[in-house]
């Protein structure tokens, strides 16, 4: 398969479609992103990278960080994790408070904000330097030591974190958060503000295409079953309230973030990251969704 030719073709095709979308504005620092950026990086499980467009620009991974924290916490907590957070799609916006009330402070899944806050809370309870541990984990997966959070973005999100604080306080009232809320939100905002290039993110995401093995160090970080479960959660919950649409059109487990990134995997084959900051109404990268839809359609391969 000539992946290079394929992704160049897709990049050109999507560029001609006049898709723009809107940058996220609820975190003011994110509103400064350039709508014209568009890059695709695909890395095979053999370690070969194919890329086109803006694959060396750093962007904040935002909610994609939730998959990494889940991958850190799951092997330690094992099935105890599922007492604190569920595995069902929410069908609601990523930062919705509504469901939490009638489900007694147990978030639907680890990829919505409430669920990710529980995961980060669990990490904080075991790691005195939780942010340092997250950065260490991601840097090792990406094979670098250059990945850090963007402080301006983290600060901007912290200044506009009333809703995330409300989620954390609400869950704390049910005993499902143990950290002091301000400290938890600070760790969470910094994890979301971690900046990576599309290439770095595709390299790090290879973990989920590669049976839970860090292909650079050959370390088995997740069991086969844990990898399967994380991929299943990405498939059903990775795209806000558009996870059904993503499965329908693309058919790959993946996760999007409001920084415009989408990371996805075809298990045993490749990881792929598309970055373009223009989002659709559901918060997913417009060009990213289209590019991945074309990728699986042209390849004739998806998890289905
Ligand atoms: N840091 C963002 C928030 O909590 C992440 C949102 C996202 O990418 O979905 O609002």
Q: What is the domain-level CATH number for residue 256? A: 3.40.710.10
CA of 48 to the centre of ligand 1 (A): 31
For the segment 58-78, the average pLDDT, to the nearest whole number, is: 98
CA of 167 to the centre of ligand 1 (A): 13
Q: Quick one: what percent of the chain has pLDDT higher than 70?
A: 100
CA of 27 to the centre of ligand 1 (A): 9
CA distance linking residue 145 with residue 243, whole number of Å: 32
Q: Are 263 and 201 in contact, with CB atoms under 8 Å apart?
A: yes
Coil vs helix vs strand at 158: helix
Is position 94 within any domain?
yes
Q: Indicate if the pLDDT at residue 11 is higher than 80.
A: yes
CA of 116 to the centre of ligand 1 (A): 10
The model carries a pTM of 0.97
- Show the domain range for 263: 3-299
Q: Are 92 and 98 in contact, with CB atoms under 8 Å apart?
A: yes
Radius of gyration in angstroms for the set of CA atoms belonging to the chain, rounded to a whole number: 18
CA of 91 to the centre of ligand 1 (A): 16
Is position 135 within any domain?
yes
CA distance linking residue 290 with residue 67, whole number of Å: 22
Q: Ligand 1 atom 7: the closest Cα is on which residue? A: 63
- Phi and psi of 179, rounded to 5°? -70, 155
Give which of 238, 113, 134 is closest to 187, Cα–Cα: 134
Structural domain count, the chain? 1
> Does the beta carbon of 41 sit less than 6 angstroms from any atom of ligand 1?
no
Burial of 8 (0-12, 13-18, 19+ CB in 10 A): middle
Is position 33 within any domain?
yes
Q: Which atom of ligand 1 is nearest to the CA of 189?
A: 1
> Does the beta carbon of 257 sit less than 6 angstroms from any atom of ligand 1?
yes
Is position 16 within any domain?
yes
Give, for ligand 1, the residue of 29, 113, 184, 262 to mutate: max count of ligand atoms closer than 8 Å to Cβ. Answer: 113
Q: Are 234 and 247 in contact, with CB atoms under 8 Å apart?
A: no
Q: Which atom of ligand 1 is nearest to the CA of 240?
A: 9
> Does the beta carbon of 263 sit less than 6 angstroms from any atom of ligand 1?
no
Is position 34 within any domain?
yes
Band the pLDDT of 136: cuts 50, 70, 90: very high
Q: Quick one: what percent of the chain has pLDDT higher than 90?
A: 94
Coil vs helix vs strand at 95: coil
Is position 236 within any domain?
yes
Token pair 């290879």 is at which residue? 206
Band the pLDDT of 57: cuts 50, 70, 90: very high
pLDDT tens digits for 255-294? 999 999 999 999 999 999 999 999 999 999 999 999 999 9
Is position 235 within any domain?
yes
Give, for ligand 1, the residue of 258, 262, 275, 283 to mutate: max count of ligand atoms closer than 8 Å to Cβ. Answer: 258
pLDDT tens digits for 92-122? 777 788 889 888 999 999 999 999 999 999 9
Is position 304 within any domain?
no
CA distance linking residue 210 with residue 275, whole number of Å: 22
């Amino acid at each position: 398969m000539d992946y290079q030719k394929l992704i160049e073709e897709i990049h050109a095709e999507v560029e001609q479609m006049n898709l723009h979308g809107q940058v996220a504005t609820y975190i003011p620092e994110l509103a400064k992103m350039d709508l014209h950026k568009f890059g695709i990086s695909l890395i095979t499980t053999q370690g070969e990278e194919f890329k086109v467009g803006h694959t060396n620009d750093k962007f904040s991974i935002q909610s994609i960080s939730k998959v990494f924290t889940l991958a850190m916490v799951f092997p330690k907590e094992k099935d105890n994790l599922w007492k604190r957070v569920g595995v069902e799609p929410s069908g609601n916006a990523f930062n919705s408070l509504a469901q939490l009330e009638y489900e007694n402070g147990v978030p639907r899944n680890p990829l919505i904000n409430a669920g990710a806050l529980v995961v980060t809370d669990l990490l904080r309870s075991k790691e005195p330097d939780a942010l340092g541990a997250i950065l260490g984990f991601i840097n090792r997966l990406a094979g670098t030591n250059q990945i850090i959070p963007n402080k301006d973005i983290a600060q901007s999100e912290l200044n506009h974190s009333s809703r995330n604080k409300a989620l954390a306080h609400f869950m704390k009232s049910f005993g499902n958060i143990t950290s002091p809320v301000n400290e938890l939100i600070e760790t969470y905002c910094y994890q979301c503000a971690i900046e990576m290039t599309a290439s770095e993110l595709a390299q790090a995401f290879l973990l989920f295409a590669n049976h839970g093995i860090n292909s650079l160090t050959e370390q088995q970080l997740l069991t086969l079953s844990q990898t399967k479960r994380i991929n299943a959660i990405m498939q059903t919950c990775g795209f806000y309230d558009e996870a059904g649409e993503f499965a329908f059109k693309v058919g790959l487990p993946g996760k999007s973030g409001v920084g415009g990134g989408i990371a996805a995997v075809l298990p045993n084959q490749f990881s792929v990251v598309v970055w373009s900051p223009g989002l659709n109404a559901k918060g997913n990268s417009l060009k990213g969704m289209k590019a991945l839809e074309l990728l699986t359609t042209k390849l004739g391969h998806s998890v289905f």
